[in-house]
Chain A
Amino acid sequence: MMGTPELKIILEFGAGAELLFGNIKRRQLALDGNQKWTIANLLKWMHANILTERPELFLQGDTVRPGILVLINDTDWELLGELDYELQPNDNVLFISTLHGG
């Protein structure tokens, strides 16, 4: 008999974005495989489950705030449909803050 289907993905944070998520740079997630997961859903899930610092430093409305890049399998999410992108098994989603110092 089959167990509850899971959607396994890897979530990564870099350049300071990890500070908003308990200072953990890499997480393996097993999401509920019975539902469709878009990035929009994932952001809501992250807000509810793992975001530890002030939400406005990560989210603005229903999307990420300006200055945070989202990369899916090392490709800018803008090339893949942004919020509407549907997560696939073993996807790697990286959130990275933009640096300005020098």
Chain B
Amino acid sequence: MIKSEADSERTKLEREISELRAALNRKEQCLRDLSSTVTAAARAQNQSEGNAMKSQGESAHTKLNKDDVARYSRQLILPSFGVQGQLKLKNSSVLIVGLGGLGCPAAQYLAAAGCGNLGLIDYDDVERSNFHRQILHSEARCGMSKAESARIALLELNPNCEIRCHSRLLYSQNAMHILRGYDVVLDCSDNLPTRYLLSDACVMLRKPLVSGSALKMDGQLTVYSYGNGPCYRCIYPVPPPPEAVTNCGDGGVLGAVTGTIGAMQALEAIKVIVGLGDVLAGRLLIFDGSSGTFRNVRIRSKRPNCHVCSAQPIITELIDYEIFCGMHATDKNNPMQMLAADERMSVEEYREKLQAQPHLLIDVRPTAEFEICQLPKSVNVPLVEILDDGYLKRFSNHLEDKALPIVLLCRRGNDSQIAVQHVRNRFPTHFVRDLIGGLHAWASNIDPSFPIY
């Protein structure tokens, strides 16, 4: 059994190494906190209030040093950018909200280009499902705050960039305070309440908002609250119904698609700061990755009766955006409770009482997801096929047998409840249940080796 001994030794070592890494990360964090406290205190002495982040007035950079010239030479020789552009960038401060698929490339290009001050906001921690698109994070920093993880990567790229982390959820009570210290804000968030919050706050503080979004193979980009351009509310005065909103965790997204939009957010931010080219305000860039096409469409200018950005605004301070949108300001899924407890079963109960008995186990996830992983003996009937009764014919023999239990499952136990309601209406005397928590519960309570996504 030499192999198994080697395996357990390996596991032990790997665990010890990751614990040491975590301890090292904590120490480095303490050090950064200490130095930023010292810098902030020194700055507070020198400056009047209101410019939390910016080094303005006497401390503004008026010259490039030798290092800057060497590092930025390829953009310095661009006539439209030049030394003045570089100095503006060096004296600028940009806030990036969300260090995910959009925020990582955006932050990367801004830091690399020599943006002097970057603020990073993210409440979330790094996990494995991030890596395919959130390219600043690394295996070694799993579990670390995304803002901190991004800061480490960005400082490696450009140690001259001053980076401040805000590792918390942005909401109405802290938004004005945080945003005030920055010149430009990048909306790299993944949810609707944060998008309305950022737009309203940017209008109130008169800050340009570079807004990017992406899902599946598609991306969209525009700049709000800039010049005579509209704000988010001018375009979307009313939020969409929650059931029409899909996030990347459910719909999926390709990393190269978020990368395309994120890199362009950095470009628009640089244009705003430097005063270069035509900023993408009053226009919306629509990217269709599957056909490789960009469309640049003209959207409306300011709405004369906009509740926030018109001359007579109705909303003059931030509101509760989760209530306004009827959804949460994270892309984490919230368990739904449609069925009564006795219409459902736990994964443990299923394994003990039913798994070995004859039963019909229907997995209602989309086929692409079913192909990733599935329980033994489960059959795939996507929810749409349940709802349009497409499954009736395929399982007519099984369904005739009233004694045969029907168990429905999905990824987290939400869609399976909808399926139970539908199947039970059709077969009121059958035993129909769904698995609470779905495959996620199966992986955490029954089989830790089961892949989750």
Contacts and interface: CB of A to CB of B under 8 A. Distances in A.
Contact of B295 (A57, A66, A74): A74
B239 A67 contact: yes
Given A14-B288, A74-B298, A99-B220, A66 B189 contact: no
A99 to B, nearest CB: 4
A68 B241 CA distance: 11
Interface stretch (A1-9, A41-49, A75-83): A75-83
B300 A76 contact: yes
A62 interface: no
A66 B191 CA distance: 16
Contacts of A99: 213-215, 218-220
Contacts of A75: 297-298
A24 interface: no
A102 B220 contact: no
A65 B244 contact: yes
A55 to B, nearest CB: 12
A102 B189 contact: yes
B286 to A, nearest CB: 6
Nearest to B243: A57
A78 B251 contact: no
Interface residues of B, number: 46
Interface string A47-68: 0000000001100000001111
B241 A101 contact: no
A96 interface: yes
A101 B238 contact: no
B11 interface: no
Interface string B236-261: 11111101111110010100001000
Chain A's interface size range is 20 to 34
A98 B103 contact: no
A71 B240 contact: no
A102 B243 contact: no
B350 to A, nearest CB: 31
A67 B244 CA distance: 8
B188 interface: yes
Contact of B216 (A16, A25, A67, A69): A16
B236 A102 contact: no
Contacts of A97: 244
A68 B239 CA distance: 10
Contacts of B212: 102
Contact of B190 (A74, A78, A98, A101): A101
Nearest to B262: A102
A100 B298 contact: no
B296 interface: yes
B240 A98 contact: yes
Contacts of B291: 25
A15 interface: yes
Interface string A1-38: 00000000000001110000000010000000000000
B334 to A, nearest CB: 16
B38 interface: no
Nearest to A72: B297
Given A14-B288, A74-B298, A102 B103 contact: yes
Contact of B244 (A14, A25, A57, A74): A57
Contacts of A71: 297
A75 to B, nearest CB: 5
A100 B213 contact: yes
A102 B258 contact: yes
Contacts of B102: 102
Contacts of A96: 286
B85 interface: no
B208 interface: no
B331 interface: yes
A16 B215 contact: yes
Nearest to A74: B297
B433 interface: no
A65 B241 contact: yes
B207 interface: no
B248 A66 contact: no
Contacts of B245: 67, 100
B98 interface: yes
Contacts of B214: 99, 101-102
Nearest to B100: A102
Given A100-B247, A101-B248, A78 B258 contact: no
Given A66-B240, A100-B213, A102-B103, 20 more contacts: A14-B286, A15-B218, A16-B216, A57-B243, A65-B240, A65-B241, A66-B236, A66-B237, A67-B239, A69-B299, A74-B296, A75-B297, A75-B298, A76-B298, A79-B300, A98-B220, A100-B190, A101-B248, A102-B188, A102-B214
The 9 closest A-B pairs by CB, nearest first: A67-B240, A99-B213, A101-B248, A66-B238, A102-B102, A101-B215, A15-B218, A102-B190, A74-B297
Interface of A: 14-16, 25, 56-57, 65-69, 71, 74-76, 78-79, 94, 96-102
